[in-house]
Amino acid sequence: MAAAAARLLLRSVSSKDPVTNIHASLHNSFGVTLLKLFPSCTFKPKTQKRHAAHFTFHPDPVPTKYGSTMKMNLFQSVTSALDNTLSSDPTAVIFGEDVAFGGVFRCTVGLRDKYGKDRVFNTPLCEQGIVGFGIGAAVGGATAIAEIQFADYIFPAFDQIVNEAAKYRYRSGNLYDCGNLTIRAPWGCVGHGSLYHSQSPEAFFAHCPGIKVVVPRGPIQAKGLLLSCIADRNPCIFFEPKILYRAAVEQVPTEPYLIPLSQAEVLQEGSDLTVVAWGTQVGHINGEVAAMAQEKLGVSCEVIDLQTILPWDIETVCKSVVKTGRLLISHEAPVTGGFAAEISSTVQEECFLNLEAPITRVCGYDTPFPHIFEPFYIPDKWKCFDAVKRMINY
């Protein structure tokens, strides 16, 4: 029993995740002490192999309508958008935890040195204060760009976002508004983030009229959509898939450009089944699932990147479902109450007589986001492919 307990303890603390290794040395020393107490135990601790989330990024074609391009990953495209904004708008300010130093994910590198400490500055570790300050700055006429260091920690600011920012225009009868506020936050799983650094909270805010919620699928969309959020006259939440910060590389236009909000993009036309996703999941669907379905099943998938969660593009999605007769929706967030449920309900109401199979959701489970079991939790290409097979054979 003692040996088994020692093995369990060592396994539980062998993670190299930077989020959880703060007490690793203490735990490991305790485990070694246990082994010393039981010299008959021959177990030797081994380095545990980290299981990273499966992900393959497939870049979009090089855009030609926005001028010259440069190779950028996603965090560099975000930096480029922020740089463009600070350069063209003297009222723009960027603030959050560690943004003056470049931020945890390096999205604001060099901006303080270029534009000064009065325009790019650190805040206390207080999300409620960050958003509250942003609301005041936006009401005062500034273009306020707030960073929440992880989307998982946006919840202390929930009241400020939902009860203040979203309702400011309505409660004042359009006399005042904080539409100049944009809130950025790293979002989604990253391969080793576990329960506090992997969440996808977009559905919480999709229930709240008065704000817009946007999630890009890659660097090209990240820059264009972020600039659109900043230019929009409503408060916006811009979730950035953190696993794409370095994994996603595309040729991104260097000059400013806008991608319309609330307009989904049909990435691949098809005739048999509509697949809707956003953020990281678009890479699974467009780059892998659709190709597997065509090759192995002869199924033609129409792939749609929703891009804007609120207000979402009902027309594009329903038009596609009328054509294909089937709908698959995939997101990383838990299935119950996830935004796929809203899409499913709306499509059922609008396209009921066109459906050839039940609408299917491939999502995360109704559990906290796990660490070493992340590969079992995420809605990867194999789960989506199995769903396609079920729907076609229904």
- Just list the catalytic residues: 127, 197
SS3 of residue 386 by DSSP: helix
| 81-111 as b/e: b if 16+ CB within 10 A | bbbbbbeeeeebbbbbbebbebbbbbbbeeb
CB 279 within 8 A of CB 239: yes
Q: Amino acid identity, residue 320?
A: S
* The token pair that represents 328 in the structure block: 């698959």
CB 362 within 8 A of CB 384: yes
Q: CA-to-CA distance for 193 and 216, rounded, in angstroms?
A: 20
Stated as kind and residue range, the H or E segment containing 384 is helix 381-392
CB 184 within 8 A of CB 282: no
Q: CA-to-CA distance for 141 and 308, rounded, in angstroms?
A: 25
367 CB-contact burial (10 Å; exposed 0-12 / middle 13-18 / buried 19+):
exposed
| Bond prior to 311 in cis (omega within 30° of 0) | yes
- Give the pairing of strands 265-268 and 249-253: unpaired
* DSSP 8-state assignment for residue 6: H
Q: 71 - beta bridge partners?
A: 251
Neighbours of 199 (CB within 10 A): 24
Neighbours of 163 (CB within 10 A): 12
Q: CA-to-CA distance for 161 and 187, rounded, in angstroms?
A: 17
